[in-house]
Amino acid sequence: MRFFVFLLFFIPGSPSSCPDPVTGPQEMVVGVGSCLYISCRYDLCQAGPGAQLHQLSWIHRPNFDQKTREFRGRVVARPSRTPGADQGDCDLILPHMGKEDGGQYGLRLVAQPSRRNFKELLWMHFVTVNVTDTPPAPHLWPDPAPINQGLRTSFGCWVPPACPGDTPTFAWEGPASKTAGFNVEPWAPPATVTSHPAIGSLLTFNPFWYHDGTLLNCTLRGPDGRTISRASRLLQVNYPPRNVQVDMSPSHPVHEGEEVTLTCRDSAKPPSYAFSWSLGGRTLSQSGAQLLLRPVQAADGGSYRCQATNDVGTTQSPAVPLEVYYAPRDVRVEVTPASPVLEGGEVTLSCGHSSHPPPHTFAWSLGGRSLPHSGARLLLGPARATHGGSYRCEVTNSLGTATSPPHHPGVPPQVAILENLTSLPALIGSRVTLRCTLGPAHPEPLIQWQRDDREVGPPGPTLSFDADPAHTGLYRCIGQNPAGSALSPPLPVVVWFSRPRPHLF
């Protein structure tokens, strides 16, 4: 397999300046069996307008003869010239370079000026050619630089054109070339890559974190599939935080009052520069790779997440639970149903609490007397007035015991009966006594009286008054406690009085 090898050089393009007569590389390296391709250009402007090119020849191992004032050596090529042209190409192509073909090459240029005020132009451009046993490797583009995960990336691989009849092929090797969605296509490098003709291959792929630190190889192969040379690039891939996780110290469940440290760990390139924390979906004000809870409170328990951010992106960790152990607290007796309970109905007392770990023992008492029940719920049914009283529940877990405040579930009076203890209608001035009788209730109801729907008399089970026409009306009694009330049917009270007899005249 043979191909051209050349170095880049500057070709002036400003017509107002007069460059050196020959521009081209000064040193080259080719492999045994390869083509030597020296790209150059000549310009006769130093000889003035209309200068005539008399000599343009490439000489292998030129030697200057002091007597003849000429360069001697093996002439290997005479580039074609365009008659009358002041500028042109002077490229040299030598196929199948051998070790003996190495050494110095010179391009001899002689131009005759058309005017007397210009001197004859004599120029020799030297190029040192080193022939090695190993062909030069292909060129990779672009220059080494970090690439980012998630941004589709292209790499180009190119060589100078091959010798006529030779067809080189390119093969990409490495993890990046096996990524789903990768694409390889023929590529002609633009002028921003090389100013000389070249052939190449373009690989486009999506970089991932696991490509970081891996080799991407471009292998040049001959028509027989034999590897000629190879260029390699160590990939540098920047990627967002991954494997983000929360480490907890101590890792076992902690007791309230202890110190807990949460650490956010991740793998990121470049390293993460910002960390944030959340508890149960609520963003915390603390930031940094560590979250210190000192002392830890029961309210600090829950699911923690950390979020890591670097220049490429942001990633959140899975939730990590923090269990905070504490003794029972906020113990209370809860009643179901909460509305007034009718006698004969069903009532459930529940022992509400907050504790961790959960309680293992419940105890109940009524008026200071222990009840033979050990569950979290106490069923009273059918409800009776005798069930009234001061209930307490006691909760115990492995860390301690707590008792609720007293609770007094009430039974409202179910019925109110109004009785007359004197004869009615009542004579004016006589004593009238009414009595109110209630059904079973707890706590003891307060009895109030009404006449014609207006409150009268002092509270109590009886109402007494001296009969008077002003006391006539419909009487009711109402029995009421915190659990409810009962209203008696109305009782009419009528007061009789005598009218004075008329005087006779």
Write the pLDDT tens digit of every residue in 358-382.
999 999 999 889 999 889 998 887 6
Q: Which of 203, 235, 267 is the last residue of a domain?
A: 235
3-state secondary structure of 45: helix
Give yes or no: residues 127 and 159 share one domain.
no
- Asked if the structure places residue 504 within a domain, the reply is no
Considering its fold, how many domains does the chain have in total? 5
Is residue 91's pLDDT more than 80?
Answer: yes
pLDDT of 346: 80
| Ranges 2-16, 58-72, 75-89, 157-171, most confident | 58-72
For residue range 344-353, what is the model confidence (pLDDT) as tens digits?
A: 668 889 999 9
Q: Which of 322, 346, 369 is the last residue of a domain?
A: 322
Count the Cβ atoms, other than its own, within 10 Å of residue 469. Answer: 10
Give yes or no: residues 331 and 308 share one domain.
no
Residue 33 lies in domain: 22-132
Give yes or no: residues 57 and 127 share one domain.
yes
- Asked if the structure places residue 11 within a domain, the reply is no
Whose structure tokens read 């979020």? 307
Q: Residues with Cβ < 8 Å from 396, sequence gap 6 or more?
A: 328, 359, 360, 361, 362, 363
Give yes or no: residues 114 and 30 share one domain.
yes
Q: Quick one: tokens of 92?
A: 């040299």
Evaluated on CA atoms 467, 473, 474, 477, the torsion sign reads negative
Q: What is the CATH number of the domain that holds 187?
A: 2.60.40.10
For residue range 280-318, what is the model confidence (pLDDT) as tens digits?
A: 999 999 999 999 999 999 999 999 999 999 999 999 999
Q: Residues with Cβ < 8 Å from 378, sequence gap 6 or more?
A: 348, 349, 350, 351, 364, 371, 391, 393
Tell me the pLDDT band of 490, cut-offs 50, 70 and 90: very high
β-strand partners of 328: none
CA distance linking residue 442 with residue 47, whole number of Å? 130
Give yes or no: residues 392 and 423 share one domain.
no
3-state secondary structure of 386: helix
- Asked if the structure places residue 119 within a domain, the reply is yes
pLDDT of 21: 94
Are β-strands 491-493 and 473-481 bridged in parallel, bridged antiparallel, or unpaired?
Answer: antiparallel
- Asked if the structure places residue 8 within a domain, the reply is no
